[in-house]
Amino acid sequence: MTTTLRRSSRRSTQASDGKVNTIVALPEKRNGAKSAAKASAKEVQNEAKDNTILVVKGKRKAKDEVSEASPPVNAAKAAKTADEEVSGEDSFDSVEANRLKQMLHYERQIIEGERKRLAMEGCKDIVEAMKRFAIIGVDEVGVGPLAGPCVSGAVVLSIGVADAKSNYNLANLAGINDSKKLKPAQREALAIQIKQYSMANNLGICTSQEVDTLNPRAASMEAMRRAVTGLLEGPLAGYRVHLLVDYHTVPGIADTIGQTCLEKGDAKSQSIAAASIIAKVYRDEYMLQLHQSYPHFGFDRNAGYGTAAHMAALRSGLICPEHRLSFTPVRLAYEKIQQGKDTTEESKADVSTATELIRSDSQKENELTEEVDQKVTGRSAGRSSRGKPLRASRKPNKK
């Protein structure tokens, strides 16, 4: 039997004389060939077993140790790694660019349709005619809240000649998306860009009283009409326009004005998304200012929607002028005030519950500010002459 030392796994081969040659993998040493020859196959197997256990139980650790022990990579390998990282960034940019391109799909369709219409009418200078054509994105926010206005945005991203192919200049705002999918800071930053780079923009507003008079859906339609009309009678006077609207058509607009309605349009069109963003940023700021006067309802966090803190405040019999009395929880609160139940122990408990819920949602900085204000002024937070909630401030509509 012949024993051969190699850096490979143990295996058996059959020689030409019929004898079995056993090959055992043993660690090589530069100055220790004799000691290496004495190492037994059992020790090698135990070492291999220990290494296997190490890899299974601490794969990440073993990998890190090997990485630290390995020599530094050469320049070519480092360059390859850098190229792969750049390629990954390019891939991300490519995905974002493709998403933004898709969000201009309907705008480009409308542009192409307008060019064909001009050609059929025998227009001699289509490029010049397209300078007087605008696409208005329209969307609204604030239909469902218990308090606050309904706000609609109308935006023309850009206008003019970009090149001979499109004959139209479309803005391409990185990061633009459905306003509900964006964080407040992202919406605020985009709103600034939209107002800066758009050819025109406008807001239409229906107050909470108008929401009670019309109904929420009709009020949202009226807010959109006001936003669009403000552009048609102002910066877009004399322009041919086409409306891109989220889900609904805008009422009260001339039949000569085309409208394209898209379900979930704020995620499919940059024009609609831009309108949604400026409308939501305005309304959120409005509710934040309203919170300064009426902190009991948590308007700075719920924007008027029926959260637990907001509902608890209503159950206590507290309402403010911005509440929509046509909504059931607000109407019940108003009726409770009228019946004189707002001074009961149950009402006081509801007020306490609302306060605790609001405080649990607040940031520590806000709590610290309230404590400092209480010590300085000697009054409890939210009980100044401006901050006291109104009771039975207006009568509900009788239908």
Helices assigned H by DSSP within 58-104: 59-69, 75-102
d(CA 350, CA 309): 10
| Poorest-pLDDT segment among 81-95, 99-113, 120-134 | 81-95
CB 194 within 8 Å of CB 173: yes
Sequence-distant (≥ 6) Cβ neighbours of residue 25 within 8 angstroms: 6, 7, 8, 9, 10, 44
Q: What is the pLDDT of residue 133?
A: 93
**Cα→Cα distances 350→113, 295, 388, 399, Å:** 59, 15, 16, 30
CB 210 within 8 Å of CB 218: no
- Cite the beta strand spans of the chain per DSSP E: 3-6, 11-14, 20-25, 133-141, 150-156, 200-206, 240-246, 258-262
| Poorest-pLDDT segment among 120-129, 130-139, 288-297, 381-390 | 381-390
**Beta-carbon count within 10 A of 68 CB:** 7
Residue predicted with more confidence, 125 or 40: 125
Residue predicted with more confidence, 215 or 15: 215
d(CA 27, CA 47): 10
d(CA 363, CA 370): 11
Nearest to 243 by CA among 215, 190, 202: 202
Binding residues for a divalent metal cation, by number, are 139-140, 246
Per-residue confidence at 93, pLDDT binned at 50, 70, 90?
A: confident
CB 142 within 8 Å of CB 304: yes
d(CA 53, CA 37): 26
**Beta-carbon count within 10 A of 100 CB:** 16
The DSSP element (H or E) to which 52 belongs, if any, is helix 41-57
Residue predicted with more confidence, 5 or 185: 185
Listing DSSP states for 144-192 in one string gives S-SBS-EEEEEEE---S---TTT-S-----TT---GGGS-HHHHHHHHH
Q: What is the pLDDT of residue 54?
A: 35
CB 118 within 8 Å of CB 126: yes
Query: Residue ranges per domain, the chain?
Result: 3-69, 103-284, 294-377
In tens, the pLDDT along 28-78 reads 444 454 454 445 555 545 554 444 333 333 344 444 443 444 445 555 555
Average pLDDT over residues 226-253: 95
In tens, the pLDDT along 336-382 reads 888 875 444 454 445 455 445 444 544 444 554 455 345 434 443 33
**Cα→Cα distances 210→79, 149, 201, 324, Å:** 65, 9, 23, 9
pTM comes to: 0.65
Q: What is the pLDDT of residue 37?
A: 47
pLDDT averaged over the chain?
Answer: 74
Report the CATH fold assignment for 103-284: Nucleotidyltransferase; domain 5 (3.30.420)
In tens, the pLDDT along 196-217 reads 889 999 999 999 999 999 999 9
Structure tokens at 342: 């707002």
Q: What is the pLDDT of residue 369?
A: 43
d(CA 111, CA 134): 9
Average pLDDT over residues 156-177: 63
| Bridge partner residues of 241 (DSSP) | 134
Share of the chain above pLDDT 90, in %: 49
Answer yes or no: is pLDDT of 183 > 60: yes
- What proportions of the chain, in percent to the nearest 5, are helix, strand and coil? 55, 15, 35
Residue predicted with more confidence, 133 or 367: 133
Q: What is the pLDDT of residue 217?
A: 95
Binding residues, by number, are 139-140, 246
